[in-house]
Amino acid sequence: MMASEKKSFWPKMPKREEMERNKWLAPIAHRFARSELWRFTRRSVPRGAALGLFAAFIIPVGQIFLAAFLALPARANVPVAALITFVTNPFTVPFWAWVANKVGRFVLKIDAATVGAANAEIASGRWQEFGWFLETAGVTAFGFFVLAIVTAAIGYLGAGFLWRYLVARKWTRRPARRKMLNPAE
């Protein structure tokens, strides 16, 4: 990682001391002090990415705390897990709700004919609109569940491949850098 990338990346990361001082984390703050949860390793970063994406899509509020709590037993990187939860934020939640609804309808094979048949079975009047709301909310919630599982798997694999790519790139540049520093070799 280059110096300019570190300067832009590190200020956004939650600090260990900040997490220890958090009033919600006070009962288990000593567990967050373990250094293995804050190291960037080839195993902890993909775990953190997967847990962060899972927490981001499984609940809309408080997902940072869920990601941090899930990172403890999984020995995942806490800063990565907390940072990735920002994929869902107040500005992007309407988009993700629309995507979750589409995913839920696709997975459950719900189309306009199915909705019409279901609404015909519900009593007419105000209950018909309430039934539509319950159906839409249920499909969207199921879609969020599917998104949580699928994005966690993709995040784990993607972070693992990205980690391997960055390490391989670093190793291939190493002889060239050594040659630039010491041209006599």
**DSSP of 91-119:** TTHHHHHHHHHHHHHHHHT--HHHHHHHH
The pLDDT value given to residue 75:
83
The pLDDT value given to residue 4:
46
The pLDDT value given to residue 100:
93
Question: What are the contacts of 153-157 at 24+ separation with CB within 8 A?
Answer: 153/50, 154/53, 155/46, 155/49, 155/50, 155/52, 155/53, 155/84, 156/46, 156/47, 156/49, 156/50, 157/46
pLDDT along the chain (185 residues), means of 10: 49 65 69 67 88 90 82 84 88 91 88 56 58 78 94 93 86 69 63
The pLDDT value given to residue 146:
94
The pLDDT value given to residue 128:
61
The pLDDT value given to residue 30:
62
Q: Report how far residue 131's alpha carbon sits from residue 143's, in angstroms, rounded to the nearest whole number.
A: 18
The pLDDT value given to residue 185:
57
Token reading at 181: 């520093």
Q: Is 138 in contact with 110 (CB distance < 8 Å)?
A: no
172's CB contacts (< 8 A; 6+ apart) are none
